[in-house]
Amino acid sequence: MKFIDSFIKNLKPESNWYEKTESSGLGIRVMPSGNKSWIYRYTLNGKRQKMTLGKYPAVGLKQARDLILQAQRLKEQGINPIEHQKQEKSQDIYTVEKLCHEWYQTYVSKHRKKPLHIKQQIASNIIPLLGDKDLTKLQAVDISRALDSIVVRGAPILANRVLSSLKQAFNFAVSRGNISQNPAASIRARDIGGLEKPRERVLTLDEIKTIWHFLGSANCHMSVQTKSAIKIIILTGVRTAEIRLATWDNIDFENALWTVPSAHTKGGITVKIHLSELTKSVLKELCAVSDTSFVLTGLDSNKPLDENALPRAIKRIQDRVNIPEWTAHDLRRTFATQLGETLNVDPVVIEKCLGHKMPRIMATYNKNEMLPQRKEALEQWSNKIRELI
């Protein structure tokens, strides 16, 4: 059988769908509704395959034959026509992944103080969960389910942060005319990760002592990177991102100084941190096992420690050290609190140690770095830790 236009046109629907095929492999499928679709049957690597070519009459007989010729040429090159068809369709679809890359390159990388943080969110959470979704067909329920999976793995706050980034990316798409409305506009953070209350957890000196001794015991199976990160945060009060992104060229052992570049700080300012002998000893232990530029090396030696590695490690050991509900940021809060309550350090010096921006008027007129006072405070705290351990 060789198809002609009148034959295709006069095919009538039946109670069940059926197909007619000619020797070239071209076929027509007739549905009970009367709809007709072109198909192509072929064999590749010993396996029978069937691909759809489009609906009749939108795709006519001549066009269907041209599509078969294209498919046959691909077969001759060892390319599966079906896979090639999928790739072409995916290139035409405006996916969430394409939007995120466009949003990052056009806006985030140029206007956000910490673009790498958003880049990490996109790579680690958004693309794996929603990247292949057609943006024009994306619904709120798809987004909610993706965010729920982040909550289930124990990261409700992160889920709220990802929601915030998605809303911004979708607003960008609306402003560019790629979509007519933001599919995440109606989703509330309180319905995903819940209401976020400021944490007030401050660890006691005894708890600090217990954690430090555990990190040095045979019962601790954490990597040297995560163990050292906890110790460095205890000793210096730095943010997790500041130690996670630190490179060895930021560390000056000779002058006992760690310079945190503005790109790594929350306030977008350069922060200088005095290194006590105890802090230097922790860093030198890391340096001895490091063969990359990063102080905390990740699984990929060309990248820093993953942002989720430290929170996961701390969560795993909480029951084992019998100290519940503490986070890396609680260690930073503890550092600040203990400097004030235990060592009676001046509040302004504490703020400087934390790398906080001064109020606007003070920042304008008072450029004093207070490095000697900060050095004294960090030495006092280091001595206190030595007494504890």
Q: What is the pLDDT of residues 81-122, one digit of tens each?
A: 888 777 766 566 788 999 999 999 999 998 887 788 899 899
Euclidean distance between CA atoms 123 and 303, whole angstroms: 13
* Sequence-separated (6 or more) residues with CB below 8 Å from residue 235: 276, 278, 279, 282, 335, 378, 381, 382, 385
Over residues 122-140, the pLDDT tens digits come to 999 999 999 989 898 999 9
| Buried/exposed 6-19: b ≥16 CB within 10 Å, e otherwise | eebeebeeeeeeee
Under 8 Å between Cβ of 263 and 117: no
For the chain, domains (ranges, CATH) are 5-92 (3.30.160.390), 96-191 (1.10.150.130), 205-388 (1.10.443.10)
Q: Which pLDDT does position 363 carry in this prediction?
A: 45
Residue type, 54: G
Q: Strand pairing of 26-30 and 271-274?
A: unpaired
3-state DSSP helix/strand/coil percent for the chain, to nearest 5? 55, 10, 35
* pLDDT tens digits in sequence order for the chain, 389 residues long: 788 888 888 889 999 999 888 888 888 999 999 999 998 888 888 788 888 888 898 888 888 888 888 888 888 888 888 887 777 665 667 889 999 999 999 999 988 877 888 998 999 999 999 998 989 899 999 999 999 999 998 888 889 999 999 999 999 999 999 899 999 999 999 999 888 776 788 999 999 999 999 999 988 899 999 999 999 999 999 999 999 999 999 999 999 999 999 888 877 788 999 999 999 999 999 999 888 899 998 888 788 888 888 998 998 898 889 998 899 999 999 999 999 999 999 999 999 999 887 665 444 434 567 899 999 999 999 999 999 99
Q: Are 385 and 234 in contact (CB under 8 A)?
A: yes
Two tokens, residue 147 = 């965010």
Instruction: Give the Cα separation of 381 and 342 in Å (integer).
Output: 9
Main-chain phi, psi angles of 326, to 5 degrees = -135, 150
**Single-letter amino acid, residue 37:** S
Tokens of 389: 């351990």
